[in-house]
């Protein structure tokens, strides 16, 4: 494949006009200059017209007045910020957990599917979970099922699904939409890696 296109040069309007002036003096056409700069040919025509105008007759660009920012009272934080940070912490903890368990994409997809079913079908185990305000990392160890599992991958995947469902139910009790959101984030991250 022959790629003769070049990456467009990023210049300020002043720098671009200087480049246009030098290129015009070198005898280049508007089309050639536009192609070199990665801009429209009309931009080059406007720059040439601007350069041909005497300096004292050129328009002056006045700065626009900035909109005032809405000031928050001192000490008042965005009420959604702690929740967003908590969800971000959950996704990061889960990413780390997936890496520790050595799960690959098909395993992750299977586990996430089973987790969704566990959360949808049964809420009874939620009442037996700890209700302490631990971090998502700490809750991963607290919600680990206590039954033994063989080193047979299909059984391990069921164990992981049970573990993850308990963890999500403990981190976000009775918040199905947020639980689904965490599962979606993990699925998207797993597919993008």
pLDDT digits (tens, 9 = 90+) for 93-104: 888 888 888 888
Could you tell me if 37 and 19 are in contact, meaning their C-beta atoms sit under 8 angstroms apart?
Answer: yes
pLDDT tens-digit series, residues 119-170: 777 654 554 544 556 777 777 777 788 887 777 777 788 888 888 888 888 7
Rounded average pLDDT over 23-31: 93
* DSSP structure class, residue 151: S
Residue 127 is predicted with a pLDDT of 47
Residue 22 is predicted with a pLDDT of 92
Distance CA 181, CA 172 (A): 11
Could you tell me if 69 and 79 are in contact, meaning their C-beta atoms sit under 8 angstroms apart?
Answer: no
User: pTM for the full model?
Assistant: 0.52
In this structure, the chain runs to a length of 193
The HSE-up count of residue 166 (CA atoms within 13 Å, CB side) is 20
pLDDT tens-digit series, residues 31-72: 999 998 889 999 999 999 988 988 888 777 778 888 887 776
Could you tell me if 125 and 147 are in contact, meaning their C-beta atoms sit under 8 angstroms apart?
Answer: no
Question: Any idea which residue has 């003769």 for tokens?
Answer: 4
Checking if the pLDDT of 3 tops 70, the result is no
Question: Any idea which residue has 């299909």 for tokens?
Answer: 154
Rounded average pLDDT over 87-92: 85
Rounded average pLDDT over 166-191: 81
Distance CA 163, CA 119 (A): 11
The domain segmentation of the chain, as residue ranges, is 13-57, 81-192
More confident site: 7 or 34: 34
Distance CA 87, CA 178 (A): 8
Checking if the pLDDT of 30 tops 90, the result is yes
Rounded average pLDDT over 109-120: 81
Residues 109, 111, 112, CA angle at the centre, nearest 5°? 65
More confident site: 13 or 176: 13
């Amino acid at each position: 494949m022959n790629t003769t296109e070049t990456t467009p040069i990023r210049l300020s309007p002043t720098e671009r006009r200087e480049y246009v002036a030098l290129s015009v003096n070198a005898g280049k056409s508007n089309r050639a200059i536009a192609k070199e700069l990665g801009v429209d040919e009309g931009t080059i025509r406007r720059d040439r017209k601007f350069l041909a105008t005497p300096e004292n007759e050129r328009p002056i660009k006045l700065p626009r007045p900035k909109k005032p920012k809405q000031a928050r009272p001192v000490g008042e934080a965005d009420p959604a910020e702690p929740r967003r940070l908590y969800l971000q912490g959950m996704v990061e903890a889960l990413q780390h957990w997936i890496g520790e368990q050595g799960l690959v994409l098909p395993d992750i997809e299977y586990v996430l599917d089973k987790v969704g079913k566990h959360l949808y079908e049964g809420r009874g185990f939620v009442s037996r979970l700890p209700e302490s305000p631990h971090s998502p990392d700490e809750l991963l160890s607290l919600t680990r099922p206590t039954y033994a599992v063989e080193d047979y991958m299909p059984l391990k995947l069921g164990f992981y699904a049970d573990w993850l469902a308990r963890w999500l139910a403990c981190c976000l009790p009775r918040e199905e939409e947020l639980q689904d959101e965490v599962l979606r984030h993990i699925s998207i991250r797993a597919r993008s890696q």
